[in-house]
Structure 1
Amino acid sequence: MTKPIELTTKMRSPMKVLSLCTGIAGDAAAFLHAGISHEMIAVAEFDPLASAVLACRFPGVLNLGDINAINHWKVYHGKVDLIITGIPCQPYSSAGRQLGSEDARDLSTRVCEIIATVAPRFILIENVPQFRTVQGGKPFAEFTGAIERAGYSLGYQVIDAQDFVPQRRKRLFLCAYRGTPSTSPSELLAFAAGGAGRAKPGGAICDRARSDPPGSSSVLYPPRLGTIMASGSGLNRAGMKGHEMDFYVVQEFPEWGLTVRRPTPLEVLRAQGFPDWWLDDVTYRGRPLTNNQRYQLVGNSWPVPVAAAILSEINAHWFAPASK
C-alpha cells in the first residue's frame, strides 16, 4: 500500500512553498523529482476530485480550498519562499472561447493580489501559451505589470514538454524574483528549457518518463503522445480530429500481433512525468478512481520534469539571501 508523502524533508533550510490551484500536486512531484529540500506550507484546491488526491497523498498539509473565498493571506506574509501555481487555463485556452479576463473562471487578478499580500521571494506560474495573446495581450500585460509593481523582476518562456517526456505539450512558464538575482528570470528559464537545467532525478521519483508511452520497444506509433487534456479527448472517446490521432497506440504483441489501442491511465500518468504510484489508493466518494477520472486529473496537471528543471535552477541560482 502506498504511503502518504511527507513533504517536509530533513535537509537544512527547506524552501517554504505555498501552492495555489494545486490540482494533483504536480509541483510537489517536481520537488521530489529534483530532490529539492522543501516544506509545503499549504495548498489551495477547490475541485473535490483533485482534493481527494491531495488528502490521500498529503494528509498533513492544509488545503485552503477556493482562493476566492480566503481573506487571511496576511498570515503567510514573510513565511513563504515560493508561490507556485498553474492558473486555470480555460479563459485562455484555444480549446475554449478565450474570453480572458471576461471569463468568470479567470483567477489571474486574484493570484496577483495574493502575491502582493504574501510577498514571497520567488514565483513560478504555468499557463497555456495563449495567455500572452488573448484579447490582444491586454490581460497578460496587466498581470505581469501587477507583479512588477509588487517589486518583482520577471521573465517568461514557452517550453515544450516533449523535450522532457513523451508528450507534446507547450506551456507558458513565468518566473519572478523579489530582489536582485545573480541570474535573471529569463536566463533561468532558458537554462531549464535548453537542457542546462539540473532536473536529474534525485529524489523520491524514479525517472521513467522518457520511455515510449507504453514503456515497450514494440510500440510502433506514436513516438510521443499528443497534448493530454482533462476532457479525455482521444483517450476516452473517439479521436478522429487533428492531434487526437496521436492517441492511437500501434503496438506489436507476440501473442496477438499488430494491435491498435488507446493509452492506459498509467501510460498517461508517465507521459506527464508522474511516478507510477501517484494515484494509487486514492478514492473518491468511497470508490477507486475510474479511468476517466484519472485522465481528467492528469490532463489538468503539468509535466513534472519541466517544473523540476525550473525549480532546480531556482534552487541552484537563487537560494541565497535576497538583495535589498
Structure 2
Amino acid sequence: MQIKYITRTRDDVELPRLRVLSLCSGIGGDVAALEYAGIPHDVAAVAEIDPIASAVLAQKFPSVPNLGDLTLADWSNYHDNIDVLIAGIPCQPYSVAGRQRGVDDRRDVTSDIVRIVGEVRPRYVLFENVAQYETLHGGKAFSELRNGLVSCGYAVDHRVIDAAEVLPQRRKRLFILGCRGDAGGSPSQILADAASGGRSADACGTTRLPSADATSGSASVLHPPRLGTLMASGSGMNRPGMRGHELDFLVVQEFPQLGLVMRRPTPLEALRAQGFPDDWFDGVSFAGKALTDIQKYKLIGNSWPVPVTAAILASVFRSSETGRLSQAA
C-alpha cells in the first residue's frame, strides 16, 4: 500500500501558517498529518520523554525544541501564541492491552493537559486516545478533560473514528476537539467532516484521500484484507508464536515461483498501514545505531493514524482561516 502525500498552495494567495504545539509527540504523527494535508505550519515545540521517539524527533525536526516531561515544562512562552495544541494522550492507563487503571495510573496526564490548556490558551485543541478513554471507570478521565476545557472557554465534541475507512488497519480511536470561543468553527462539524471518510481532508485543494479498499495491497495478498490494530507493544509483529488477534498480522501472500508464503508485515508495511510516508525513518538512528525492527514496530504502533488526523486538522485549518477573516472584517 502506497499513500500519496498532498502538498497544495493557492495561486496568488499567501496562506497563514498554523503555529502548533505538540505534546506526547511520539514520532511526529501529528506533523506528518499536517504535511499530508498540505497545511502551512510551524511547530513551536514538542514534548516527548521516550528516548527512542525523542531521537526520531530530534533528527527529523532538529530546529524544534523538545520540552521533555510535560508535567514539568514552562508554558509561559506559549501563552496566547498557539493556534493548535495537539496531544496523543498516553493510552496505557485505558487500553484493553493494559491494566486499565485509568486516572489512578501514574502515566495518566489528563489533569496536566487541562492545566496546560489553561496556561497556553490555544485557539484549538485536538486529543487522541483509545475509545475506552471515554467510558472507563464511568468516564472519569474523559469528564475531567471535557469539563476542564469547557471551563477554559472551549466548545468541545468528540468522536470515535475507525482508520479502516482510509487505511488497511483496523484502528478505532477517540478524537476530542475543542475550539476556543473566538476561534471560529464547530468541533461537531469538523469531526463529522473527518468521520465521513476524510473525503475533504485536503486543506488547500480538492484531492480526496484514498479509501482503504483501494490501498490494501496487491491482489496476491490473500490474508488479511486489513491488519489488526498496530500496538505500542509490537504485539503480533515479531513474537515467535501467534494467537488470537495476533493472527490478524499473519500475511498470506502468493509469490511467483514460490507459491503461498506466510509471513509477518515488514516495518515498511506497518509504517504504510499507519499512513506515514515510506521515508519517515530514513537516516534515523538511536545510540549511534540504525533503528531495529522491533523499535520501529513499537514506535509506529504508538502513533496516530495519519490520514484521519489530517482530515481533522484540514477542517480546523479551514475554520481557522474563516475565523481570522471574520475578525479582520
Same fold? TM cut 0.5:
yes
Q: TM-score, normalised by structure 1?
A: 0.91
Aligned pair 1:56/2:74, yes or no?
no
Give the CA deviation at 1:28: 0.3
Q: Answer yes or no: is the 8 Å Cα contact 1:212–1:219 preserved in 2.
A: no
Structure 2 match to 1:39:
42
Give the CA deviation at 1:241: 3.1
What is the alpha-carbon distance in structure 2 between the residues aligned to residue 272 and residue 202 of structure 1? 23
Aligned counterpart for 1:273 among listed residues 269, 272, 275: 275
Q: Cα 1:153–1:20, aligned 2, differ >3 Å: closer, same or farther?
A: same
Q: Cα 1:20–1:104, aligned 2, differ >3 Å: closer, same or farther?
A: same
Give the CA deviation at 1:157: 0.2
Q: Which moved more, 1:242-251 or 1:290-299?
A: 242-251
What is the alpha-carbon distance in structure 2 between the residues aligned to residue 91 and residue 247 of structure 1? 24
The letter for the 1-side match of 2:26 is G
Structure 1 match to 2:17:
14
Give the CA deviation at 1:55: 1.0
Aligned counterpart for 1:169 among listed residues 168, 171, 177: 171
Q: Cα 1:282–1:268, aligned 2, differ >3 Å: closer, same or farther?
A: same
Aligned pair 1:185/2:191, yes or no?
no
Q: Could you report, residue by residue, the CA deviation over 1:192-238 in whole angstroms, capped at 9, with x for unpaired residues?
A: 111364224979xxx8894655x422111111100000111110114
Kindly report which structure 2 residues correspond to 1:296-311, keeping only aligned pairs within 5 A, or say none. Answer: 296-311=298-313
Structure 2 match to 1:3:
none
Q: Answer yes or no: is the 8 Å Cα contact 1:212–1:224 preserved in 2.
A: no
Structure 2 match to 1:25:
28
Aligned counterpart for 2:105 among listed residues 103, 106, 109: 103
Structure 1 match to 2:156:
154
Give unpaired runs (5+ residues) of structure 2.
1-8
Give the CA deviation at 1:97: 1.0
Q: Cα 1:209–1:163, aligned 2, differ >3 Å: closer, same or farther?
A: closer
Structure 1 match to 2:265:
263
Q: Answer yes or no: is the 8 Å Cα contact 2:92–2:100 preserved in 1.
A: yes
Q: Cα 1:253–1:61, aligned 2, differ >3 Å: closer, same or farther?
A: same
Q: What is the CA RMSD across the aligned residues, in angstroms?
A: 2.2
What is the alpha-carbon distance in structure 1 between the residues aligned to residue 240 and residue 186 of structure 2? 45
Q: Cα 1:83–1:240, aligned 2, differ >3 Å: closer, same or farther?
A: same
What is the alpha-carbon distance in structure 2 between the residues aligned to residue 239 and residue 319 of structure 1? 51
Give the CA deviation at 1:255: 2.3
Q: Answer yes or no: is the 8 Å Cα contact 2:110–2:144 preserved in 1.
A: no
Q: Cα 1:162–1:77, aligned 2, differ >3 Å: closer, same or farther?
A: same
What is the alpha-carbon distance in structure 2 between the residues aligned to residue 42 and residue 182 of structure 1? 24
What is the alpha-carbon distance in structure 2 between the residues aligned to residue 318 and residue 11 of structure 1? 14
Give the CA deviation at 1:140: 1.2
What is the alpha-carbon distance in structure 1 between the residues aligned to residue 148 and residue 231 of structure 2? 30
What is the alpha-carbon distance in structure 1 between the residues aligned to residue 242 and residue 95 of structure 2? 20
What is the alpha-carbon distance in structure 1 between the residues aligned to residue 116 and residue 133 of structure 2? 19
Q: Cα 1:59–1:190, aligned 2, differ >3 Å: closer, same or farther?
A: same
Q: Cα 1:51–1:294, aligned 2, differ >3 Å: closer, same or farther?
A: same
Secondary structure in structure 2 of the residue aligned to 1:110: helix
Q: Which moved more, 1:186-195 or 1:19-28?
A: 186-195
Q: Answer yes or no: is the 8 Å Cα contact 1:250–1:261 preserved in 2.
A: yes
Q: Cα 1:220–1:201, aligned 2, differ >3 Å: closer, same or farther?
A: farther
Aligned counterpart for 1:229 among listed residues 228, 231, 242: 231
Secondary structure in structure 1 of the residue aligned to 2:167: coil
Q: Answer yes or no: is the 8 Å Cα contact 1:197–1:313 preserved in 2.
A: no
Q: Cα 1:89–1:196, aligned 2, differ >3 Å: closer, same or farther?
A: closer
Structure 1 match to 2:89:
87
Q: Could you report, residue by residue, the CA deviation over 1:52-104 in whole angstroms, capped at 9, with x for unpaired residues?
A: 1111111111111111121x212100110110010000111111111111100
What is the alpha-carbon distance in structure 2 between the residues aligned to residue 320 and residue 137 of structure 1? 34
Q: Answer yes or no: is the 8 Å Cα contact 1:233–1:239 preserved in 2.
A: no
Kindly report which structure 2 residues correspond to 1:174-253, keeping only aligned pairs within 5 A, or say none. Answer: 174-179=176-181, 183-195=185-197, 197-200=199-202, 210=212, 215-238=217-240, 240-253=242-255
Q: Cα 1:202–1:81, aligned 2, differ >3 Å: closer, same or farther?
A: closer
The letter for the 2-side match of 1:266 is L
Structure 1 match to 2:4:
none
In the alignment of these two chains, the number of paired residues is 311
Q: Answer yes or no: is the 8 Å Cα contact 1:208–1:270 preserved in 2.
A: no
Q: TM-score, normalised by structure 2?
A: 0.89
Q: Could you report, residue by residue, the CA deviation over 1:14-48 in whole angstroms, capped at 9, with x for unpaired residues?
A: 00000000000000000000000111111111111
Q: Which moved more, 1:58-67 or 1:178-187?
A: 178-187
Structure 2 match to 1:5:
none
What is the alpha-carbon distance in structure 1 between the residues aligned to residue 276 and residue 211 of structure 2? 8
Structure 2 match to 1:144:
146
